Structure 1
Amino acid sequence: MKRLLNFLFVTVLISSLSLPVLAQQYSRDWHRGQRFNQQAQFDRGAFGNRHDMMMARLNLSDEQRTQIDELYVENQQEMLPLRNELREKQARLRTLQISANYDAGAVNDLLEEIGALRTEMSIKRNEHHQEVRNLLTDEQRILFDNRPFRNGGRGQGMRGYGSCGGFSPRNR
């Protein structure tokens, strides 16, 4: 009987200690799955949740919807090579930063290139924003300018996932 109680005690102890580890693993996998699903959605030609939310909220005409879709696709085609180049430079930067022979000059040059790429991407994003804005009526423009779903639905200025971000990291 004593052996059975010891066995049950050890089993319960191991189970209770392993639950937090399992919960953390589930959380990481769930977030990874969310990103995969969003990428798959984009690859299939869907625009993703923020674009769809904007289209529904603005009550666009069919002509406006078509024009905005065309602008969106055009913008994504321009941004994709820039995003890829940025990711390559960021990977190269990580490699340079952890290499045995650290070269501060090369790191600084690469940081400047990354900054220039980000600036170019911001300019293109702003141009796209203004092109979409020009297609809207005054009422739609007010909704567009005050849209709560910019910044991934986390509200103005909310960048992290913290306690105000809601259950999901994308707050969706």
Structure 2
Amino acid sequence: MKNSKLLMTGAILFIMISAFTTTYAQQHERGRGMRDNVSRRGALLDQIPDLTDTQKEKLNDLRVDMQKQMLPLRNQLREKEARLNTLSTTEKTNLNDLNKLVDEMGVIKIRMMKVAVAHRQKVRAELTEEQRLFFDSHAGRMTGHKRMKRSMGQRGDK
């Protein structure tokens, strides 16, 4: 009787430790993958063939300008997403308020897309024909924000 209780306790402890270790390892891998993807995005511009120092400097300036424009938009969008979460989980939700907030989020997303499209065209304008071909053929990798979020297990087009 005592041995069976000890054996059962040991088995349960082993299962719990195994489950915790597996879950922790998966979360660690997911976080590292995200960091790798984020750091790769900037490095992809460096892979464009035969960039001159002037081009590199100009592309860096364009990237910084775009980030300055995008930061407040991203912050506004995150605030709206948090507000949407708060409003949609209250006891009495107001559908009109939720719809208004969704519309506001849509406006911000459109502005963000316009900034990104303008940035892409400015980058293309700085490249030679061969470099543009490379840039255009690798565009999916350079703008992999949605793909990154989906790989992190999030749904939709956030």
- Is the shorter-chain TM-score for this pair beyond 0.5, marking a shared fold? yes
Measured after TM superposition, the shift of residue 119 of structure 1 is 0.3
Residue 41 of structure 1 corresponds to none
Match of 1:152?
A: 144
What is the aligned partner in structure 2 of residue 131 from structure 1? 122
Distance in 2 between the 1:59 and 1:15 partners?
56
Whose helix fraction is larger, Structure 1's or Structure 2's?
Answer: 2
RMSD in angstroms over aligned alpha carbons?
A: 2.9
Higher relative contact order structure (alpha carbons within 8 Å, sequence separation ≥ 6): 2
Number of equivalenced pairs: 150
Question: 1:111 corresponds to which residue?
Answer: 102
Whole-Å separation in 2 of the counterparts to 1:6 and 1:161: 43
Q: Alignment identity in percent?
A: 27
In structure 2, give the amino acid aligned to 1:98. Answer: T
Unaligned 5+ segments in structure 2 are 153-158
TM-score (ref. length: structure 2): 0.79
| Structure 1 residues 44-123: aligned runs within 5 Å | 48-123=39-114
User: Structure 1 residues 158 and 78, CA, compared in 2 at 3 Å: closer, same or farther?
Assistant: closer
Deviations 1:103-130 (A, max 9, x none): 1111111111000000010001000000
Q: In the alignment, is the contact (CA less than 8 A) between 1:151 and 1:159 conserved in 2?
A: no
Equivalent residue letter for 2:98: V
User: 1:16 — aligned with what?
Assistant: 15
CA distance 1:97–1:6, shift in 2 (3 Å): closer
* Distance change >3 Å, CA 59–CA 3, structure 1 → 2: farther
Question: Is residue 31 from structure 1 mapped to residue 30 from structure 2 by the alignment?
Answer: yes
TM-score (norm 1): 0.73
Residue type of the alignment partner of 1:118: K
The answer to whether the 8 Å contact 1:58/1:140 transfers is yes
Task: Work out the CA distance in 1 between the residues paired with 2:149 and 2:70.
Answer: 22
Q: Secondary structure at the match of 1:58?
A: coil
Q: Distance in 2 between matches of 1:20 and 1:113?
A: 42
